[in-house]
Amino acid sequence: MQRKLLSIALAALLIPAANFAYAQAKPAAMKISGDTVKIGVLTDMSGVYSDLGGQGSVTAAQMAIDDYVAQYKPKFKVEMVYADHQNKADVGSNKAREWYDTQGVDMITDVLNSGVALAVAKVTQEKNRIMINTGAASTRLTNEDCSPNTVHYVYDTYALANGPGKAVTKAGGDTWFFLTADYAFGASLEKDTTDAVKANGGKVIGSVKHPLNASDFSSFLLQAQASKAKVVGLANAGGDTINSIKAANEFGLTKNQTIVGLLTTIIDIHALGLPTTQGMMFTEGYYWNLNDDTRAWSRKFFAKHKKMPSMLHAGTYSAVTTYLKAVQAAGTDEAGPVMKKLKELPINDSFAKNGKIRADGRMVHDMYLVQVKKPAESKEPWDYYNIKAVIPGDEAFQPMALSRCPLVKK
């Protein structure tokens, strides 16, 4: 009897001790590493895409951090680093590895240039961190190269292709010729647009590839002109799109052929001017003058950057904010729990309403088919678009039924 009473007494003493040990261990397992969440903006700071992302993405990310800290007053610090990947996959992947290994970076964003993004995604999965891509467009990132550590946030080649591919073809532009940037992004954008053109009764009669940051587009445009295609599709972006459109106007292509910039942003329209771009149609993910929320945020951005935001800039702000909310909800900066929260939490801000991140990593949100205004229609600086159609997110992005992502159960 005495032995039994002693056992009960010992158990009574050990149970609180065990509970205390568990209570002490649990917060430690959920602790933010180094009490700091660190975000890396990996972008093109000096090349052909620097206006599309570049310093604007750095500014947007810092705005998101500042606004989040001011509103939520987290118990952890939030820091940012940034670097120029020079549009080189090896430079980008080496910088990502350095950040993860030696600087405690938890999440990398922007990563425009599909070749760079695909390389960084592999390093990110290897190191079990997170990449929220707001800049690269290739659908490989949510198809055969999808990863449990990657989110594809702003746009992709499927969404960019389907708006103009459908609208322009149905309006009579049923023969196409492509000028295509010669790397993963260009190939993906040409393929997805070709599929959209054919699905709507059109055909592609030729294409030509050009190097990234081409210095002279004359030979490529002469081939497009000789094709007599009704539509010349520009499967390129940034400075290459701007220079293609300039050269097309100089060669007189626009008199007989329609130029469609498949990844065109308000930054490009501002650089070229309304007289050169009026009437162009393309798909956008964001427009500063869409509603009160977009105007309010964009004017804050303009005050810091002196330009209205591209969809990439607005998307980077949203992505960083969404990531920090997921960290706070998870109680840790460990990739697994944070990714789980990212896929659970709805996204509602000036960039996206009722946005959601799918199993393949695709963030689904509305896209917009826009047409550039005539100069007489513009009421103020940067007032450049007429919204021709709102494309619901589930229609804008590739259906899950077509996914080639190994993470997707069919």
Rg (CA), the chain: 24
Q: Would you place residue 119 in the very low, low, confident or very high pLDDT band (cuts 50, 70, 90)? A: very high
Q: Would you place residue 2 in the very low, low, confident or very high pLDDT band (cuts 50, 70, 90)? A: very low
Q: CA–CA separation, 222 vs 145, rounded Å? A: 36
Q: Which pLDDT score is estimated for 7?
A: 43
Q: Which pLDDT score is estimated for 409?
A: 79
Q: Would you place residue 389 in the very low, low, confident or very high pLDDT band (cuts 50, 70, 90)? A: very high
Please state which of the four CATH numbers 3.40.50.360, 3.40.50.2300, 3.30.420.40, 3.30.70.1060 is assigned to the domain occupying 34-155+290-366: 3.40.50.2300
- Asked if pLDDT for residue 208 goes beyond 90, the answer is yes
Burial of residue 144 (number of CB atoms within 10 Å: 0-12, 13-18, 19+): exposed
Spell out the residues 6+ positions from residue 300 whose beta carbon is closer than 8 angstroms to its own.
63
**Chain segment 309-348, per-residue pLDDT in tens:** 999 999 999 999 999 999 999 999 999 999 999 999 999 9
Q: Would you place residue 25 in the very low, low, confident or very high pLDDT band (cuts 50, 70, 90)? A: very low
Q: Would you place residue 410 in the very low, low, confident or very high pLDDT band (cuts 50, 70, 90)? A: low
- Asked if pLDDT for residue 17 goes beyond 50, the answer is no
The first and second tokens of residue 328, run together, are 């706070």
CATH no., domain 158-285+368-388: 3.40.50.2300
Q: Where are the domains of the chain?
A: 34-155+290-366, 158-285+368-388
- Asked if pLDDT for residue 26 goes beyond 50, the answer is no
Neighbours of 325 (CB within 10 A): 16
The first and second tokens of residue 199, run together, are 């699905």
Give pTM, 2 decimals: 0.90
Find out whether 30 and 331 touch, Cβ atoms under 8 Å.
Answer: yes
Residue 118 CA, chain-centre distance (Å), reads 13
Write down the mean pLDDT value for the chain: 92
- Asked if pLDDT for residue 13 goes beyond 60, the answer is no
H or E stretch covering 40: strand 36-43
Q: Which pLDDT score is estimated for 21?
A: 38
**Chain segment 130-180, per-residue pLDDT in tens:** 999 999 999 999 999 999 999 999 999 999 999 999 999 999 999 999 999
**Chain segment 265-320, per-residue pLDDT in tens:** 999 999 999 999 999 999 999 999 999 999 999 999 999 999 999 999 999 999 99
Burial of residue 126 (number of CB atoms within 10 Å: 0-12, 13-18, 19+): middle
Q: Which pLDDT score is estimated for 31?
A: 85
CA dihedral 320, 323, 325, 330 (to 10 degrees): -160
Same fold? 34-155+290-366, 158-285+368-388: yes
